[in-house]
Structure 1
Amino acid sequence: MISNIEEDKTNLTPFQKEVARRRTFAIISHPDAGKTTLTEKFLLYAGALALAGSVRARSSQQHTASDWMSMEKQRGISISATALEMEYQGFHINLLDTPGHQDFSEDTYRTLMAVDSAVMVLDSAKGIEPQTEKLFKVCRMRGIPILSFINKLDHPGRDPLELLDEIERLLGITAVPMNWPVGQAPDFKGVYDLNDHRLRLFQRTEGNKFRVPVRLSGMDDPSLPALIGEATHRQLTEEIALLAGVVSKFDRARFLAGEMTPVYFGSALNNFGVEPFLEAVLELAPPPSIRHTEQGIIDPISEDFRGFVFKLQANIDPRHRDRMAFVRVCSGHFKKDMQVLNPRLKQQIRLSRSFRLFGRERETVEEAFPGDVIGIISPGQLTIGDTVTTGKPIDYARIPTFPPEHFGLLFNDDVTRYKQFNKGLEQLEEEGAIQIFFAEDSLKREPIMAAVGELQFDVVMARLKDEYGVEARLSRLGFTGARWARNSKSERLALPRSVRRCRDRHGETVILFNSEWELDYIRRENPGLTLAEMV
């Protein structure tokens, strides 16, 4: 549901104009589809970067602005979600860059709770990949509008019509091409705009780093066959005629409802079609939208300030060694030093240390508007899922804890570093990077580290060393899943010997298991027991 600033753009107040020009979106993709490259090119066009950093993990190349962890720089991958804020053609953009590695964590899911739309990047050779499908389902659950960018058209790939069909079959969403590739690798020449019937052809510049668009009036331009070749011109003419009879018309209402995705073709690495795609994102993506809560709707233009914490991050800047809460502003006008209520703590807190974010860079922010993401330093007063407000207490959609699939016993061999070891684990668990359990049947108190993605183990070990000075070692455990035990009438549970009973940081009972057979046995032998997948 959109705010009335979309329905009536006349006679807006200065505050409403600020809300109307905001666009808050995330870019989602499978690993190596080109998400981080597209992010960098968006920043480049917005003037936020002088030179787009390469995502390849070479020590001589510039690191991407969105990848700030040392591990991200070493491996050339995005591990932690970051916020990037910029201005472009009168729009104020809040771009949330999500992790794109194979073993993505809950960080990705939580970030999608904070956006109003999403950009889905697909590899033209691979199409819909498993992680893309997972992230799309999260967007579908939230009704997030999605724009699609089919990338790497300058590389050998699949037929564009086949890719459109796959989007519709696997994702259950209507795919509407907004432009069309002119030729395919190695003869990819540019894109044809199906709405204004203009061509954007591209010429190489010195060094082959960027491509400059050559705009033609349309298919009847007499110079076109010579520019793109007779065969490519003939094929393009036939494909455009075919599209007119088989594809749906773009319907903005269906797009905003998450039922239709506009599709654009291009190459992020070589700047094919990136600028028109960015302009389309800003034109089509909605401004901050109405959010539904158990206490009613929250309109972004209401007077009460409201926001929620979707991410915690410690040690973004080693010079500060602090912990920052990422707050999405949902309504009202944020002002530095304002007093807000945290309903969870039932106490007022002052938001005095507030920052505008750009990767790891920060600068003090005096005000913010709905759609903006601000960083708040407030030790011990804000955690993931918290809401802050100047009005009546509210609860946004709960941010769930997802069931882990990977487990390991964590050892700290340096007895002089246990304080740092425990502090590091506590902060990393509060960030949602991992979950920590303690086995009830063990005489030792080594923690069991649990994660949604296996790469999170490497992340935690590296951060314990870099940020807390702790050398730890991990012994992998063979469990494949965890369930929270609820509603048991007895403290004693009949369990197979192969499972392990643990406690989480809240004292809840957690059962680690190896197979579905074990879960069936536990349910059968413990009537009335509920095994919850998430909390």
Structure 2
Amino acid sequence: MSFTQEIRQRRTFGIISHPDAGKTTLTEKLLLFGGAIQEAGAVKSNKIKKGATSDFMEIERQRGISVATSVLAFRYKDRKINILDTPGHKDFAEDTFRTLTAVDSVIVVIDVAKGVEEQTEKLVSVCRMRNIPMIVFINKLDREGKDAFDLLDEVEQKLGLHVCPLSFPIGMGYDFQGIYNIYEGNVKLFSGGSKKKLEETLEFEDLQDPELENRIGSPALNSLKENLELVTGVYPQFSREAYLSGELQPVFFGSALNNFGVQELLDCFVQIAPDPRPKKAEERLVKPEEEQMSGFVFKIHANMDPKHRDRLAFVKIVSGTFERNKPYLHVRLGKNLKFSSPNAFFAEKKEIVDRSYPGDIVGLHDTGHFKIGDTLTEGEELHYKGIPSFSPEHFRYINNADPMKSKQLAKGIDQLMDEGVAQLFTLELNGRKVIGTVGALQYEVIQYRLEHEYGAKCTYENFPVHKACWVEPQDPNNEEYQEFLRVKQKFLARDKRGQLVFLADSAFSLQMTQDKYPSVKLHFTSEFDT
């Protein structure tokens, strides 16, 4: 198969939503329909002992939420599908925002009862900013929820999208009987109650088929016909060009838990979703068809396999072919590195791959060379843009609870910070360590992983900080900067890269500092120097 054909086969997308909208369950069912797994796991069910494939960290299985992005790959209808299942919880939004830099399209999952929720709005605004093509999947139709047209209006108004329904439900909740597939022009009715195995579906090509009326009853059929008339009258016709340019968002209805509407979504997705797209570097726009390999690290994960203390850097291939055992330039370090066992993923299962193509996600064993945002090339100096870095909102001192394990604690903190789980600040005055996070739940995750992956225990103490600001002096030698260092000494710290950070204890103090020392610039992101 030619290089161009390999690129055309790839579909790399992320699944985003508010927590509990059914994102991980949808991922499971896509894998199930793709033949990648024989039986789907339930994310929250004590009756089904099988855990969700994409939730492979122990803490995820216990809490029933995703706390890290997982990568899953499978083949479906001659396409190579790469899914990135992201955390929905706002405390792990940073991981999700970074993942959105590595996807070519997105599926947004919305709960039929709750409608559009806060976290979905934030994530969709990031996608719109980057013109990422989006498909909306309205989930949990087997439960009582909002009217389909009300939901479509809500998606348009709250998310600022232009929707185009490509399927429509027949009933909802207890009356839910199936789906009309507008894209293919047929009705699918569902029989059987298994939530894990695929059921036979009855298909009708024609709404006039008398057997269809016998099955669903004339009130439901008449209601469906009226709804379809409204859909064609109110919403625009589907256009792939408008979808790919981010101007139109197809909508599918279904119930991931009961396998309703998932195959329609997948069949349509493989046809319309974009091939790997060009990506902007600071130097130029890089196209997938280029011969020279380039890629960037968007995630680092330590201890994916607890038996082997390994650390993997997830690299999205942007252009060219990535080959095993071939030296590539690590742009930030300026040195060539070879990788003898690059991995492809199926959640925590990995297999070594000899070559990977644009759109693929490759896991590289990392001994500490990589940071998030690093670029690999065949020699060209490229820096990919848009890997966001946030100023933390929560701050706590971290203390060692077991003096015998101080080495393990130091190593654990070091590796977890490289993953981007949180940020570490070392106070200039006394060398105490402070951890800053976007959400409070991350502290629990850090504590849990330190104990279970590194054998180290820690405790926290509150540290009242309003905002962390990276310091950039106009002139490091001028009197104003020296006075700033002297007066603010107890509020200064260094981040993991050794950059100076001012930890403001209140919004008032931050404003006063900016007014008093105008030549000292304060930044809310650490990326100002690149």
**Could you state the TM-score of these two structures normalised by the residue count of structure 1?**
0.93
Q: Is the 8 A contact 1:191 1:273 kept in 2?
A: yes
Shift, 1:212, TM fit:
2.7
* Match in the other structure for 1:227: 215
* Match in the other structure for 1:244: 232
The structure-2 alpha-carbon separation of the partners of 1:457 and 1:357, relative to structure 1 and needing over 3 Å to count, comes to same
* Match in the other structure for 1:485: 471
* Match in the other structure for 1:475: 461
The structure-2 alpha-carbon separation of the partners of 1:378 and 1:502, relative to structure 1 and needing over 3 Å to count, comes to closer
Between 1:376-385 and 1:303-312, the stretch displaced more is 376-385
Name the count of aligned residue pairs.
521
Between 1:494-503 and 1:16-25, the stretch displaced more is 494-503
The runs of 5 or more residues in structure 1 that have no matched partner are 1-12
- 1:506 aligns to 2:503 (yes or no): no
1:152-231 alignment, distance < 5 Å: 152-205=140-193, 210-231=198-219
2:46 is aligned, of 43, 58, 77, to: 58
The structure-2 alpha-carbon separation of the partners of 1:534 and 1:57, relative to structure 1 and needing over 3 Å to count, comes to farther
Q: Structure 1 CA distance, aligned partners of 2:51 and 2:332?
A: 39
The structure-2 alpha-carbon separation of the partners of 1:378 and 1:405, relative to structure 1 and needing over 3 Å to count, comes to same
Identity between Structure 1 and Structure 2 (%): 41
3-state secondary structure, aligned to 1:490: helix
The structure-2 alpha-carbon separation of the partners of 1:362 and 1:520, relative to structure 1 and needing over 3 Å to count, comes to same
Q: Structure 1 CA distance, aligned partners of 2:485 and 2:282?
A: 38
Shift, 1:516, TM fit:
3.0
Q: Is the 8 A contact 1:494 1:522 kept in 2?
A: no
Q: Is the 8 A contact 1:325 1:376 kept in 2?
A: yes
Q: Structure 1 CA distance, aligned partners of 2:322 and 2:489?
A: 53
Q: Structure 2 CA distance, aligned partners of 1:213 and 1:457?
A: 46
* Match in the other structure for 1:453: 439
- 1:527 aligns to 2:513 (yes or no): no
Q: Structure 2 CA distance, aligned partners of 1:432 and 1:528?
A: 30
3-state secondary structure, aligned to 2:16: strand
Shift, 1:337, TM fit:
0.3
* Match in the other structure for 2:398: 410
Q: Structure 2 CA distance, aligned partners of 1:312 and 1:127?
A: 33
Q: Is the 8 A contact 2:339 2:364 kept in 1?
A: yes
Q: Structure 2 CA distance, aligned partners of 1:405 and 1:344?
A: 28
1:228-307 alignment, distance < 5 Å: 228-307=216-295
The runs of 5 or more residues in structure 2 that have no matched partner are 475-479
- 1:371 aligns to 2:359 (yes or no): yes
The structure-2 alpha-carbon separation of the partners of 1:156 and 1:60, relative to structure 1 and needing over 3 Å to count, comes to closer
Shift, 1:420, TM fit:
1.1
Q: Is the 8 A contact 1:154 1:188 kept in 2?
A: yes
Q: Structure 2 CA distance, aligned partners of 1:157 and 1:496?
A: 58
Shift, 1:300, TM fit:
1.0
Q: Is the 8 A contact 2:481 2:519 kept in 1?
A: no
Shift, 1:381, TM fit:
2.3
1:71-110 alignment, distance < 5 Å: 71-110=59-98
Q: Deviations over 1:393-427 (max 9, x none)?
A: 21111423211111111100322211111111111
Q: Deviations over 1:471-514 (max 9, x none)?
A: 11112333343222323551332999999332212232323335
What amino acid does structure 2 have at the position aligned with 1:529?
V
Q: Is the 8 A contact 2:41 2:196 kept in 1?
A: no
3-state secondary structure, aligned to 1:397: coil
The structure-2 alpha-carbon separation of the partners of 1:338 and 1:225, relative to structure 1 and needing over 3 Å to count, comes to same
Shift, 1:209, TM fit:
5.4
* Match in the other structure for 2:382: 394
Q: Is the 8 A contact 1:127 1:163 kept in 2?
A: yes
Shift, 1:470, TM fit:
0.5
- 1:329 aligns to 2:320 (yes or no): no
3-state secondary structure, aligned to 1:204: coil
1:41-52 alignment, distance < 5 Å: 41-52=29-40
Q: Is the 8 A contact 2:97 2:388 kept in 1?
A: no
